[in-house]
Structure formats: C-alpha cells, structure tokens
Structure 1
Amino acid sequence: MYKISEFAKLTGLSKETLRYYAEVKLLEPAYIDPKNNYRYYDDGSYFLAILLVKLRSLGFTIQEMISVMEDESFENLDSLLRQKRNKIMLEIEERQLQMKAINEFLLSGEEESK
C-alpha cells in the first residue's frame, strides 16, 4: 500500500489531482484509514492511475475518463479512442484549411503591394 504522497510520485499525478479523482469517483483510494483519514493506494490503483494519465495525455475529458472507468471491461475504450482519433483528424483538416486561407490572404496582400 502506498500513501498518497508516495503514490503521487509514482504516478506523476499531484496529490490534489488524486483527491479530485477520488471526489468524482474516478480513482478512489484502496483504503482510507478511519483514524486519520490517510488515503492508501495499491498496485491495482497504480494500473488505473497510469491509464488515467495516458487518457488525459490523449485529450480525454474527465467525463470521458469516468465513462472508461465505469466500464470495467474496457470494451468501450476502443470505441472512444477511435472517436477521439476521428475528432483529431477533423480538427487537423480544419486547421489545414485555415492555414490555406491565411496563406492565400497573405499572398493577395503581397500582390497588392507590388
């Protein structure tokens, strides 16, 4: 079992983030000591925390991460990852169109100044 400070160092999540994740039922401690309210995490918590770190780095929202964690079989994860990828691809296409429009606008300004 790991105290919250040890677990924070192990996972790269701050103590505040771990407390928030527990509050929203995203990642709850494996055990809370009733005497002093110290939070303890176990190896299973570590796996889930690393998954959450990865999902966050992929742009998942808190609500999306909750959806993944509620589906303990992780069957939904593949679908969510594909949706996220498609959304990013659309955003890239939109940005490329914006870049093209900016370049065209810059070129038209250069031609007028000649």
Structure 2
Amino acid sequence: MYKISDFSEMTGLSKETLRYYAEVKLLEPAYIDPKNNYRYYDDGSFFLATLLMKLRGFGFTIQEMISVMEDESFVNLENLLLQKRNNIRKQIKELQNQIEEIEIFLQSGKDENK
C-alpha cells in the first residue's frame, strides 16, 4: 500500500488530482484509514492511474474517463479510442484548411502591394 504522497510521486498525478479523482469516483483509494482519513493506494490503483493518465493525454474529458472506468470490461474503450482518433484527424484537416486560407490571404495581400 502506498500513501497518497508516495502514490502521487509514482504516478505523476498531484495529490489534488488524486483527491478530485476520488471525489468523482474515477480513482478511489484502495483503503482509507478510519482513524486519520489517510488514503492508501495499491498496485491495481497504479494500473488505473496509468490508464487515466494515458486517456487524459489522448484528450479524454473527465466524463469520458468516468465512462471508461464504469465499463470495467473496457469493451467500449477501443471504440472510444477510435472515435477520438477520428475526431483528432478531423481537427487536423480543419486546421490545415485554416492554414491554407491564411496563406492565400497573406499572398493576396502581397499581390495587391505589387
């Protein structure tokens, strides 16, 4: 079992984030000492924290992460990841179109100054 400070160091998640994740039932401590309310995490918690960090890095919202964690079989995880990938590809195309429009606009200004 790991104290919250040790677990925070291990995972890179701040203590505040860990408390928030527990509050929204995203990653609850494995044990809370009833005497002092200290939170303790275990190796299973480490796996889940690593998964949450990956999902956050992929741009998942808190609500999307909760959805993944509620589906303990992770059946929908692949579908969510594929959907996220498609959304990112769409955003990239939209941004590339914006870049092209900016370049055309800049070029038109140069052409007018000639």
- Alpha-carbon distance in 1 for matches of 2:30, 2:96: 46
Distance 1:48 1:56 in 2: 12
| Aligned match of 2:56 | 56
Q: Structure 1 residue 90: deviation in Å?
A: 0.5
Q: Distance in 2 between matches of 1:57 and 1:97?
A: 25
**TM-score, normalization by structure 1:** 0.99
Determine if the alignment matches structure 1 residue 102 to structure 2 residue 102.
yes
* Equivalent position of 1:3 in the other structure: 3
- The two structures have a TM-score, normalised by structure 2, of 0.99
Code of the aligned partner of 1:41: Y
Q: Whole-Å Cα distance in 2 between the matches of residues 42 and 30 of structure 1?
A: 6
Residue 3 of structure 2 is aligned to residue 14 of structure 1: no
Q: Which residue of 2 aligns with 1:86?
A: 86
Q: Write the mapping of 1:20-59 to structure 2, written as runs, cut at 5 A.
A: 20-59=20-59
CA displacement at 1:75 relative to structure 2: 0.6
RMSD after superposition = 0.4
Secondary structure, aligned partner of 2:73: coil
Q: Secondary structure at the match of 1:53?
A: helix
Q: Structure 2: which amino acid aligns with 1:23?
A: E
The amino acid across from 1:91 in the alignment is: Q
Which letter does structure 1 place at the counterpart of 2:24? V
Structure 2 counterpart of 1:98, which letter?
A: Q
* Cα separation, 1, equivalents of 2:46 and 2:98: 42
Q: Secondary structure at the match of 1:75?
A: coil
Q: How many residues align?
A: 114
CA distance in 1: counterparts of 2:82 and 2:11, whole angstroms: 25
Alpha-carbon separation, structure 1, partners of 2:81 and 2:38: 35
Percent same amino acid at aligned positions?
Answer: 75
Unaligned runs of 5+ in 2: none
Matches of 1:102 and 1:81, distance apart in 2: 31
Tell me, which stretches of 5 or more residues in structure 1 are unaligned? none
1:52: Cα distance to partner? 0.3
